[in-house]
Structure formats: C-alpha cells, structure tokens
C-alpha cells in the first residue's frame, strides 16, 4: 500500500511545481517500514486515502513524462491504486533512470542504487526514502545522465527511451551517424566507404528506425551491415506510401546486397498460355513478351508458377506434352493423354477446332469466370479429405491457393492500371496522383541519379509489380479515408471475391483457461 506520494515537475531543466502528501494506507505501518522511512502510524492516521489523492495527482502529472529510478516499481503501485478506485491504468510515457545508469556508467560505480549514484554525482538532493526527496534526487540524476547520453546522439525522448536497449552493441560508436536524421517518413540508405549502397529501407520515423538497428534488431546480417556502414543517407517523403514506393524503386535500381528483395524480384516467373501455336499449352517462363500469349503473374518463383499450372491443368485438360504436333501419330500418345488427364493432340485424334474450344474455356475461366477453376479444386480437396487422403488434399489446397492468390492480384493490379490517371486525396497525405497504378512523382537523389517509375507495358513486368502491389494494397487499406478527385476510367474490381483456401476453424472458441 502507498504511504506517501511525492512528485516534482520540471520543464526545460527548471522546477515548476511539487506535489507531496502522506497517505493513509488503511492499516498500521509495520515497524520495519518506520525504521526505513521514519513514517509512523500516527503520522498517517489523519492523512487522506489514496482514492482522495489520485485526482489531484493525475491533474498534476497531466501528459508529462514520468521519470523514476526503477520506475516500473512505482507505476505498479500507482496502477494498482487506480484499478482499485475504478480508474484506467496510466499509460503515458516513462523514463527509467536505473536502466539509463546501467547503460551509461555501468563500469564506474559498484551498484546502481539511487543513493550510490547520488553520492557519485554529488547531487544537490540526496535520497532518504521519503517521496519528495527521492523524486528530487531522481530529477538531479536524470539531468546528469542526459549530459552523458548526448555523447551517444540522444537528442529526443524517443532516443532516450531506446538507449537502454542498445546495451553492449559493438557498433554503438556509429550512433553518431544518426544524429542528423529527421523524425519523418522517408527512405534511408546504408553506404560503405566506397560509396556503394548496402541496404535500402523505409520508415515512418527515419531517426527511430535507423537507431533501432543498434538495439532491438537481432537479424543475423545486421552486425555485418553495421560494420561496413560508413554513412547513412536519407530522403524525406510526404507520407508512408511515397516512402514505400521509393524504397521499391531504389532496390530495383541499385540492387543492394543486403536487401533480400533485391535478390528475389529477378526470380519472379509467369504462367504462360502459348496462344501463338496451333495447340496452346501452359508453360513456365521467366520473362513476358509481346507475342500474343496470355500471361498470369508475375509470381514469386517458378515453384509457385508450377503449382498454378498444375491447378489449371487438373481442371481443364490442356495438353502437357512438348513434342511437335504433326498430322500423323509418330511417337504415340503422351502419358497425360493415356491416363485421360489431358486432350493431347499428339495422337492426331483431337481436332484443332475441338481443342480451341478447350483453350477458350481456359481463357474464360482465367479472365472472367475464375469460379470454374476454383470450385472444382475445392470439391476435389474436400473429397480427398473425406477419404482421409490428407496429404493429397493438402497438395490440392496449396495449388488452389496459389492460383487464387495469383488471380486476385492480377485483378487487383488490372483495376488500378486500367483506371488510367487517378487523383486521390486523404488526411495526412494531401493530393496523390497515380498514372496507371504508379506514383507520378519522381525523386532526384543528391548524387544526381533520377529515380523514376519503370516504363509502362501491356503486361505487368517483374520490375513494376512490386510498386503496383504497394499502391494497390495502400488503396485497399486506406479506401475508407480517401476521396477520389479524378479518374480517367471507372475504378472497379473485375472479380473482387475469390476463395483464398485458407484453413478456418469451425470449432467454438473455449472461454477461460
């Protein structure tokens, strides 16, 4: 229980107010507490209850930052009292001088007790286990620690709160590289001594994000990245969307070796329906061409593309063999035709017209009627599960999910591309202009390199799909806050609802333990 409350308020290093009162805990003061603090039962018997003190204390604190030595201990008592009085927990900002001292002077004192630190720094106020005196000693200690923290680039509250997490980071001396970073949305770049960009990242707060690499970020390659970094450059953006798009463009342009996306996007693949031959078939290709074929994608890898092709072929009997089709059967039917899995013209028994009808059905399903593909796949998955062939059912689900995801993304991107020029307005972002799904803005780096959107093509290219997805996802997530100012053509989804084949629990949620 609380027996005394003491607080002192500072602004700009100057004391502007104090708060002090004894508190009646509703019971006798134990002898050991009287020995420690000098507070007796007689002293608190006429003092106000904590429920009477809380309104004045909360008004005194207001929206200030609470500082304490082992501040979590004090806040635990405060929140317990708030809870008992029917009030909500205090959830404001806090700073712990104990954690700061352990970070800044861990080798200079035998321990980090408030009394020890007060003697070490020869503070004007010495703690004596009375609330106000201890609060004033803590304030003096904070001001001493702030002077030492400034050597590590601590310039604001967020830096101060993050400082204890840095601990014994081997690259802590490079925190000076973050001193000029603003607290704004933007893109940052780690650069080595040769001027090579090692890593590109985005942030809603540039300063906080870059400093987090020295504290909370425990990824395996971060230590190596920081060892090689000699400079941190940045570009301030108007809003997070601009930062995300600029990040994508720079990664594609510079291909930094510490960015995973720089290695992955060239490996994107397409599922191609080869409409330029007599008997079209599905194939997996790395690049799209203007050859009249139908392309679905790009998707993240050839493995995913193979799953999509398998899902389509399991519903529509497109030919699977790659041998040349002639007027007479030379090599005989392929295995897929022999088991009835496809209408393969390699036997010479399938006419061009009848096969073209199959191709038209495939295009109709891929472009306008995806349920013709997804519903049979779901039926097959359920049938296999009912037969307890669970591994086969899981394979069907994986392929169906890959197809559904690719179709959904294709429809999503086609909708914003086909809208042409689009102008939207929203709170905090101002007016944003899109040209066929891409930001119309361009950035000029201080090195003189123009960062511009890639060239628009009829088929979504591997180099543009990441930016298009950023914009499409942003439009979906922010639609409730955006106002459409102008659009060349109607903005609509061709087929918004698709089965995603995710596993959903049908069991009721059990309450309690």
Catalytic residues: 129
CA 265 to chain centre: 19
Domain annotation covers residue 442: yes
Same domain, 405 and 274: yes
Same domain, 366 and 399: yes
Neighbours of 43 (CB within 10 A): 16
pLDDT at 509: 41
Neighbours of 428 (CB within 10 A): 10
Among candidate residues 206, 235, 266, the one where a domain is terminated? 266
Neighbours of 400 (CB within 10 A): 27
Same domain, 146 and 15: yes
> Rounded to the nearest 5°, which phi and psi values hold at 271?
-100, 120
- 469 contacts 413 by C-beta, under 8 angstroms: yes
pLDDT at 503: 64
Share of the chain above pLDDT 90, in %: 41
> Rounded to the nearest 5°, which phi and psi values hold at 397?
-65, -40
Domain annotation covers residue 498: no
Domain annotation covers residue 187: yes
Each residue of 80-97: pLDDT tens digit?
A: 999 999 998 888 899 999
Helix axes 352-367, 371-386, angle to 10 degrees: 90
pLDDT at 142: 94
CATH of the domain at 188: 3.40.1440.10
pLDDT at 346: 67
Give ∠ CA 197-199-204 in degrees, rounded to 5: 120
Same domain, 119 and 64: yes
Same domain, 132 and 19: yes
d(CA 413, CA 408): 9
Each residue of 424-469: pLDDT tens digit?
A: 998 877 888 888 888 887 665 544 345 555 554 567 888 888 889 9
CA 467 to chain centre: 16
d(CA 335, CA 342): 9
Query: Tokens in use for 378?
Result: 């779901």
Same domain, 9 and 147: yes
What residue numbers bound the domain in which 127 lies? Answer: 4-152
Domain count of the fold of the chain: 4
Among candidate residues 224, 248, 266, the one where a domain is terminated? 266
Q: What is the DSSP string of 203-219?
A: ESSHHHHHHHTTTT---
Same domain, 388 and 416: no
pLDDT at 384: 92
Same domain, 85 and 188: no
Q: Which of the residues in the chain have pLDDT under 50?
A: 330, 446-449, 456, 505-513
Q: What is the DSSP string of 28-73?
A: PPPHHHHHHH---HHHHTTSPPHHHHHHHHHHHHTTPPEEETTHHH
Strands of 55-196 (E only): list them: 66-68, 94-96, 186-191
pLDDT at 324: 66
Considering only CA atoms, which of 177, 273, 274 is closest in space to residue 234? 177
Domain annotation covers residue 512: no
Same domain, 129 and 188: no
Same domain, 13 and 124: yes
pLDDT at 512: 40
Helix axes 371-386, 302-313, angle to 10 degrees: 90
Among candidate residues 249, 266, 283, the one where a domain is terminated? 266
Same domain, 191 and 239: yes
- 7 contacts 15 by C-beta, under 8 angstroms: no
């Amino acid at each position: 229980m609380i027996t005394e409350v003491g607080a002192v308020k500072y602004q700009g290093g100057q004391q502007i107010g104090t708060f002090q009162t004894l508190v009646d805990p509703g019971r006798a003061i134990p002898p050991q507490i009287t020995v420690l603090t000098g507070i007796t039962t007689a002293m608190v018997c006429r003092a106000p209850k904590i429920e009477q003190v809380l309104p004045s204390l909360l008004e005194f604190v207001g929206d200030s930052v609470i500082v304490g030595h082992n501040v979590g201990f004090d806040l635990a008592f405060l929140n317990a009292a708030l809870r008992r009085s029917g009030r909500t927990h205090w959830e404001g900002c806090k700073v712990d001088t104990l954690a700061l001292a352990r970070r800044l002077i861990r080798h200079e004192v035998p321990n980090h007790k408030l009394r020890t630190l007060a003697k070490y720094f020869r503070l004007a106020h010495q703690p004596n286990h009375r609330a106000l005196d201890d609060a004033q000693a803590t304030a003096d200690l904070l001001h001493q620690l702030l002077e030492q923290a400034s050597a590590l680039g601590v310039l604001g509250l967020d830096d101060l709160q993050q400082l204890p997490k840095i601990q014994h980071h081997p690259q802590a001396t490079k925190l000076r590289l973050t001193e000029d970073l603003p607290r704004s949305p933007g893109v940052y770049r780690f650069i080595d001594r040769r001027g090579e960009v090692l890593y590109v990242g985005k942030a809603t707060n540039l300063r906080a994000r870059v400093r987090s690499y020295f504290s909370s970020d425990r990824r395996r390659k971060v230590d190596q990245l920081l060892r090689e970094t000699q400079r941190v450059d940045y570009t301030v953006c108007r809003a997070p969307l601009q930062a995300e798009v600029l990040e994508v463009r720079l990664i594609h342009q510079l291909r930094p070796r510490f960015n995973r996306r720089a290695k992955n996007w060239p490996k994107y693949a397409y599922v191609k329906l080869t409409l330029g031959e007599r008997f079209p078939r599905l194939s997996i290709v790395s690049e799209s061409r203007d050859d009249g074929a139908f392309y679905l994608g790009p998707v993240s890898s050839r493995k995913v593309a193979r799953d999509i092709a398998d899902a389509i072929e399991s519903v529509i009997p497109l030919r699977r063999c790659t041998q040349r089709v002639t007027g007479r059967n030379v090599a005989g039917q392929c295995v897929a035709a022999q088991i009835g899995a496809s209408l393969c013209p390699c036997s010479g028994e399938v006419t061009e017209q009848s096969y073209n009808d199959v191709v038209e059905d495939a295009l109709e399903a891929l472009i306008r009627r995806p349920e013709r593909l997804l519903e049979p796949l779901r039926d097959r998955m359920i049938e296999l599960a009912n037969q307890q062939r669970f591994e086969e059912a899981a394979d069907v689900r994986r392929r169906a999910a890959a197809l559904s995801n690719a179709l959904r993304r294709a429809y999503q991107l086609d909708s914003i591309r086909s809208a042409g020029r689009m102008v939207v307005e929203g709170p905090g972002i101002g007016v944003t202009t899109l040209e066929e799904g891409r930001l119309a803005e361009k950035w000029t780096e201080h090195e003189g390199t123009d960062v511009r959107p890639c060239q628009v093509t009829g088929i979504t290219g591997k180099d543009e799909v990441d930016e298009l997805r950023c914009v499409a996802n942003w439009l979906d997530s922010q639609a409730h806050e955006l106002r459409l100012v102008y659009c060349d053509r109607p903005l609509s989804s061709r087929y918004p609802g698709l089965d995603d084949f995710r596993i959903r629990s049908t069991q009721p949620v059990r309450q309690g333990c």
